[in-house]
Amino acid sequence: MPLQPDIVDQIVRIIGEERRVLIKKTDLLSYGYDASFGFFVPDLVCQVKCVEEVSEIVKLANREKIPITPRGNASGLSGGALPIEGGIVIDVSLWNDVLEIHRDDMIAIVSPGVITADIDRAAQKVGLMYPPDPSSSNVSTIAGNIAENSGGPRGLKYGVTKDYVLGLQVVTPEGHIIRTGGRTIKNVTGYDLTKLIVGSEGTLGIITEAILRLIPRPQATISLMAVFDDIVQAGYAITNVLTSGILPSKIEFMDQASIRAVESYKPMGLPINAEAVLFIELDGHPLAIRDEADYVYKLMQKTGALRVQKAETSDQEEKMWKVRKLVSPAVARHKPTKISEDATVPRSQIPSFLKRLREIKDKFDIDLVVFGHAGDGNLHPNILCDQRNKEEMKKVEKAVAAIFEAALDLGGTLSGEHGIGLMKKSFMPMEFDQFSLEMMKRIKQAWDPNNIMNPGKIFPKPGDRLVLR
């Protein structure tokens, strides 16, 4: 239902600048998607630049019971930024005026629209690091990362977004401006609302400022590449490294389908008969990691690697990681649609999960490639398909369900880092019993009595199921 003209007028008055309130059809259609599936057109988009604007608009929406969807740069993979019930999209991407690095406190204070990679770049200038590095970090906003609790390759050693958020300013669904946490590393005063907001997928409020923890930047890195002729063996190699007393900063994985895709796209000299390649990065003191690299090198050989390669100069290292970067464009040439899943299993179950994925691929006769983070059990099975082919998409829906089942069977979870959003909500009852889910719903109810804040996400309604057509 389109907004009443007087509501639009009120919003324009709150924002003060007409060009930051979008109501033209072409504009509205441009805020109906993100990097996941699904397309829902909002009734209005407002591009906010300060907390008062957000608070006033949310108050208005709460009064009039208009749905609100917060949005950063919409690079999310679970549909968090999709306005599935229409209403107002609050776009924070232009709000990027604050990016302060406080070196002595080792923290950063940022506006919600600041680009993730810019925070790490600013920290780097004073020898610090903001570790979370989702592959979209050059595009994604920090508020989006916090809302979805994004991960990234470095998550293996350094953890994910939630491990770096010390405090937040949030506008609640009733329009109140609140603060959670603070600028200290230790803080046990009251309930930890910070952690509640992180990963709440925009359903509990709008993040308007964040205080982030920074850490000393490692001085050096060394990377290794190991090639295996058996995918399950590669899984054991990961487990062996992780139990050896060495914690690499990244362990990334490519299966045979990705190897072949890369070789036919841009030949990089990978053996096309190999079943898996591991990329391992060690970081830390130059002398320490040289030692560790030798140890990992031998460990890979012992676990049956066909070939192990060590990159010590930055040129060699860059070339090695380029192979990994080429996977996405290489597999995309094949078929236009890519469903990227992020079901995650305990580390010890990586080999079993790989086995199950291979079975799923054969059983449903789908194009499945597995690549991505491996060391943290967050393998990314990607299904390549063509969304215009309805029959194929039906198979894909079934395969996705089978992947979730496999992950849960092995003691894992539906989502490691993308979030539930719209894509995975129908599977929630597979992971949680009635009361566990009920407690989450009660929290939502307490925060958002009128259910205006990003409605329709996370919690399934009866009859909900995954639809990719």
> Exposure of 302 by Cβ count < 10 A (0-12 exposed, 13-18 middle, 19+ buried)?
exposed
Which CB sits closer to another protein, 29 or 443? Answer: 29
**Cβ(457)–Cβ(422) under 8 Å?**
yes
CB of residue 74 to another protein, shortest distance in Å: 6
CB of residue 341 to another protein, shortest distance in Å: 14
CB of residue 54 to another protein, shortest distance in Å: 18
CB of residue 404 to another protein, shortest distance in Å: 21
Which CB sits closer to another protein, 25 or 461? Answer: 25
Pick from 79, 78, 81: which is nearest to 45 by CA?
Answer: 81
**Cβ(42)–Cβ(34) under 8 Å?**
no
CB of residue 89 to another protein, shortest distance in Å: 10
Alpha-carbon span 467 to 469, nearest angstrom:
6
**What is the binding site for another protein (CB under 8 A)?**
22, 25-27, 29-35, 47, 73-75, 94, 115, 136, 138-139, 328-329, 332-333, 336-338, 386-388
Q: 């490691």: which residue's tokens?
A: 416
Which CB sits closer to another protein, 26 or 189? Answer: 26
CB of residue 326 to another protein, shortest distance in Å: 9
CB of residue 460 to another protein, shortest distance in Å: 24
Question: What is residue 211's DSSP assignment?
Answer: E
Which CB sits closer to another protein, 120 or 448? Answer: 120
CB of residue 463 to another protein, shortest distance in Å: 27
Instruction: Give whole-number Cα distances, 155 to 133, 252, 419, 446, in Å.
Output: 8, 11, 15, 32
Which CB sits closer to another protein, 35 or 68? Answer: 35
Which CB sits closer to another protein, 14 or 115? Answer: 115
Which CB sits closer to another protein, 26 or 434? Answer: 26
Tally Cβ neighbours within 10 Å of residue 245.
Answer: 8
> Exposure of 26 by Cβ count < 10 A (0-12 exposed, 13-18 middle, 19+ buried)?
exposed
What is the residue-wise DSSP string for 244-306?
TT---SEEEEEEHHHHHHHHHHS-----TT-SEEEEEEEEE-HHHHHHHHHHHHHHHHHTT-S
CB of residue 27 to another protein, shortest distance in Å: 5
Segment (H or E) for 393: helix 390-409
161-193 burial, b at 16+ Cβ within 10 Å, e below that, comes to bbebbbbbbbbbbbbebeebbeeeeeeeeeeeb
Alpha-carbon span 83 to 422, nearest angstrom:
10
- Residues 6 or more apart whose CB falls under 8 angstroms from that of 407 comprise 343, 344, 345, 353, 413, 414
Which CB sits closer to another protein, 118 or 163? Answer: 118
Token duo for residue 106: 């080792």
